[in-house]
Amino acid sequence: MVGNPLKGMGFGGGEEKAEEETPKDPAAAAGMTREEYEEYQKQLVEEKMERDADFLHKKAERATLRVCLREKYRLPKSEQDENMIQMAGDDVDVPEELLKMVDEDATEEEEKDSILGQMQNLQNMDMDQLKEKASATLTEMKSKAEEKCSVM
């Protein structure tokens, strides 16, 4: 509480010491020599460039997969995906795991679309329920025909 009242007035007393303690060189602030600091900065830049290249490649792989799926299901093309593939280069392949997943889906769809797949679906259906639906449809058609036709 009791102190020098003129100390806070700012006559240039303690401010010079604070400026001298903070080094202007970032290498000295990090505790390295100038050469070490420059090498460290180069490594950081190289690592960032490598990460960016890997990221771009992954994005291009995903874009390639989307293009394949769009072709398969006859969906409109995306210019953004095509641009991504061109930026990464034309040697981008879809990862094998994703190709396996797409191939498995395609074979399942082919099995469902085939005649044998349809017959297996018929085997799984409840025959009593199928008979009831058929008879209900037949009686409905008869009643509508009787309403419209005076001969029946």
Q: What is the per-residue pLDDT across 9-45, written as a single tens digit (0 to 9) for each?
A: 555 555 555 445 556 777 777 788 888 889 999 999 9
Q: And the tokens for 94?
A: 């879809």
Q: Is the pLDDT reported for residue 143 higher than 70?
A: yes
Q: And the tokens for 56?
A: 């771009």
Contact 88, 60 (CB under 8 A): yes
State the pLDDT at residue 2. 60
Residue 126 per-residue DSSP state: -
Q: And the tokens for 9?
A: 């007035």
- CA dist 82 and 68 (Å) reads 11
Give the mean model confidence (pLDDT) for residues 51-80. 87
- CA dist 65 and 134 (Å) reads 44
Q: Is the pLDDT reported for residue 150 higher than 80?
A: no
Question: 101 falls in which pLDDT band (50, 70, 90)?
Answer: confident
Question: 71 falls in which pLDDT band (50, 70, 90)?
Answer: confident
State the pLDDT at residue 99. 73
